[in-house]
Chains A and B, each alone.
Chain A
Amino acid sequence: DSGVTQTPKHLITATGQRVTLRCSPRSGDLSVYWYQQSLDQGLQFLIQYYNGEERAKGNILERFSAQQFPDLHSELNLSSLELGDSALYFCASSVATVGLAHEQFFGPGTRLTVL
């Protein structure tokens, strides 16, 4: 158990809908990262937050947005869903944003299926 929690574990929805994925980082970790794992794109970085502020953006679509709240939990919002958004979405946390060696601890992931 990494200490990172993600809810829900599974999500099935229809095209055009909007969903919210939730992540609670490990106790003490200020940095949260979101990754998408799909069959065709592999594991891709989406976005990073540090202590409530956005720090980096990767291949995140405009239909997707995220935020980190004062209690450090984070939410990833996916809207106008398309079939291609079906993927495993990971949240990871680390203690800091500086320093190369800080390991990122991954949550169990949310498996999103868009029908």
Chain B
Amino acid sequence: AQKITQTQPGMFVQEKEAVTLDCTYDTSDPSYGLFWYKQPSSGEMIFLIYQGSYDQQNATEGRYSLNFQKARKSANLVISASQLGDSAMYFCAMREFGSARQLTFGSGTQLTVLP
């Protein structure tokens, strides 16, 4: 079974609007962390935001926030006030405490910001 599912292969958003990128995950480990990474066309992977399974508050980092719904096993990324430079591939990833420390990635969502 897929551990990380990103159901939106591509998304479009108008500049200055907010956009939500979906991510659902599957784990039986009570301790886990969820990450979002951005991959622009240049190829590098840029860390955006982290949410721990025991964190009470939703994580925020500048224009990025994570809508964490533990019971639904979802960890959606919200980007507010989209900018043209936000156009990129976005990956949701998970690290489980009980297993090795590597990240398991979803298939990604290609976000295009329209002027």
Please give the residue numbers on chain A whose beta carbons come within 8 Å of chain B beta carbons, in ascending order: 2, 31, 33, 35, 42-45, 48, 55-56, 58, 88, 90, 92, 94, 97-98, 100-109, 111
Contacts and interface: CB of A to CB of B under 8 A. Distances in A.
Q: How large is the interface on B (under 10, 10 to 19, 20 to 34, 35 or more residues)?
A: 20 to 34
B50 A101 contact: yes
Interface of B: 31-33, 35, 37, 43-47, 50, 52-53, 91, 93, 95, 97, 99-108
Given A43-B91, A100-B33, A56 B43 contact: no
20 contacts: A33-B102, A35-B103, A43-B105, A45-B103, A48-B102, A56-B100, A56-B101, A56-B102, A58-B100, A58-B102, A90-B45, A92-B45, A100-B53, A103-B35, A103-B47, A104-B103, A106-B37, A106-B44, A109-B43, A109-B44
Nearest to A111: B43
A101 B33 contact: yes
Contacts of A35: 103
A85 B63 CA distance: 37
B41 to A, nearest CB: 12
A100 B107 contact: no
B31 A100 contact: yes
Nearest to A45: B102
B33 A88 contact: no
A102 B102 CA distance: 11
B32 A100 contact: yes
B101 A106 contact: no
Interface centre among A43, A109, A111 (most CB of B within 10 A): A43
